[in-house]
Amino acid sequence: MIDTEKLFALFLKNFSILHSMTKFLYVLLTTFLLTSILTTNAFAETDFKKIQGDDLKNNPIPLDILKKIEIARKQFEQTKENEQKRTEQQKLIDEQRTLAKISLNEELQRMEKKYEEFTPKNAYARYVSTINSTNTGIFWDQFNYLNIKVAIAKEARNSILQQGGTYADAMKQYVNYAKMSKIEMLNVIRDLNIKHDFAQEEIQLHFDINGKLPRYENDLESPCYGCTAKISKVQVNLEQSVPIRIMSFEKPLTKISDLQNTLSELQTAFKESKDIIAQKKMVFEMNNVVSQIKDLE
């Protein structure tokens, strides 16, 4: 007797649900029907017997096969129906997402227009408008420098999120690009003061990396920075006056001076560049220069 359970298990294991199932069923059905009508001597041509009509109905083997094939057919149709429903549901979800995105963008545009005067640039513009117009240039240069850093930081953050990164990783990238050390800030202010004629470059050279001038225990020994004529400084007890010498300052340490110049060049190129990739690279280079300056403190 043929083990129909094993045969059908083999049938279910090897059949293809989508494209090849129909052909496979026909081939399998034909094979099983031929096998089921063989007598005990499967190779004896004289023992061949045709089964049809009531004999076919009364033969348990083909009936069992036909029953299982019908079950498989219904399963296939159910699978196909479920797949079609999932496709329709996904299509509906995609349409809803598209509509939601359009609605969100419209709402954001409405809010941007409504609160336009409160954007960072417009809010800062109102503040700058209260300052003497001859001094506004340095304020805008400070704003633009920081604004570029923030814009690059936002782009780096969004790039991490779009690639599937975590919010924590994205914010780490944001901080890496947006942060500004004290050394970097002082260097920017120094260069902008020189650019807008609020300071002299030769005087600025005497400030250390922390923005401080040399300290003297005896005030009478302190130099007069930028003086062009001999002047006197009087002691508190008025018993004597000591002339203040015109200082010929020693140049700052070559290594630190060179690094500060490098930092200034990078900051200038950073502000003028329109290439975000190049600006990102400059941020890393500036941070590296700042680290080297800190190591020399």
pLDDT-derived band at 2 (thresholds 50, 70, 90) equals very low
Q: Which domain holds residue 141?
A: 115-178
- How confident is the model over 62-97, as pLDDT tens digits? 777 778 888 888 888 888 888 888 888 888 888 889
Tokens read off for 3:
């083990």
- How confident is the model over 134-145, as pLDDT tens digits? 889 999 999 999
Q: Which residue has the higher pLDDT, 150 or 217?
A: 150
| pLDDT, position 155 | 92
| pLDDT, position 158 | 93
Quote the CA–CA distance of 71 and 11 in Å, as a whole number.
Answer: 12
Q: Are residues 27 and 80 both part of a single domain?
A: yes
Q: Which amino acid is at 101?
A: K
| pLDDT, position 112 | 82
- Please list, residue by residue across 233-270, b when 16 or more beta carbons sit within 10 angstroms of its beta carbon and e when fewer do: eeeeeeeeeeebeeeeeeeeeeeeeebbebbbebbeeb
Please say if the pLDDT value at position 17 is more than 50: no
Q: Are residues 289 and 186 both part of a single domain?
A: yes
| pLDDT, position 21 | 55
pLDDT-derived band at 247 (thresholds 50, 70, 90) equals very low
Q: Which residue has the higher pLDDT, 14 or 160?
A: 160
Q: Are residues 120 and 101 both part of a single domain?
A: no
Q: Are residues 159 and 223 both part of a single domain?
A: no
Q: Given 60, 87, 106, which residue is the final one in a domain?
A: 106
Most confident of 208-212, 217-221, 245-249: 208-212
Output the CA–CA distances (angstroms, integers) from residue 76 to 24, 25, 67, 69, 243, in the order listed.
13, 12, 14, 10, 106
Q: Are residues 186 and 290 both part of a single domain?
A: yes
Residue position matching structure tokens 């990783």:
169
Count up the domains in the chain and report the number: 3
Q: Are residues 67 and 128 both part of a single domain?
A: no
Quote the CA–CA distance of 289 and 258 in Å, as a whole number.
Answer: 10
Apex CA 107: angle with CA 101 and CA 110, to 5°? 145
> Which parts of the chain are beta strand (E)?
231-234, 241-244
Contact yes or no for 178/150 (Cβ under 8 A): yes
Q: Are residues 119 and 101 both part of a single domain?
A: no
Tell me phi and psi for residue 171, to 5 degrees: -70, -30
Contacts 24+ apart (CB under 8 A), 62-69: 62/32, 62/33, 62/36, 64/4, 64/8, 65/4, 65/7, 65/8, 65/29, 65/32, 65/33, 65/36, 66/29, 68/4, 68/8, 68/11, 69/25, 69/28, 69/29
Quote the CA–CA distance of 180 and 294 in Å, as a whole number.
Answer: 14
Mean pLDDT of 265-278: 87
Residue position matching structure tokens 């004529």:
229
Neighbours of 64 (CB within 10 A): 17
Q: Are residues 208 and 279 both part of a single domain?
A: yes
Name, in order, each residue with C-beta under 8 angstroms of 289's C-beta and a sequence gap of 6 or more.
Answer: 259, 262, 263, 266
Most confident of 14-23, 28-37, 110-119, 214-223: 110-119
Tell me phi and psi for residue 232, to 5 degrees: -120, 150
- Residues facing 241 on adjacent strands: 234
pTM of the entire structure? Answer: 0.55
Q: Are residues 198 and 291 both part of a single domain?
A: yes
Q: Are residues 153 and 196 both part of a single domain?
A: no
Q: Quickly list DSSP for 233-288.
A: EE-TTSS-EEEEPPP-PPPPPHHHHHHHHHHHHHHHHHHH---HHHHHHHHHHHHH
Contact yes or no for 190/204 (Cβ under 8 A): yes
Q: Given 83, 106, 129, which residue is the final one in a domain?
A: 106
Q: Are residues 237 and 139 both part of a single domain?
A: no
Residue position matching structure tokens 């005030």:
219
Q: Given 149, 178, 207, which residue is the final one in a domain?
A: 178
Contact yes or no for 177/152 (Cβ under 8 A): yes
Q: Which residue has the higher pLDDT, 153 or 19?
A: 153
Name, in order, each residue with C-beta under 8 angstroms of 271's C-beta and a sequence gap of 6 or more.
Answer: 141, 144, 145, 148
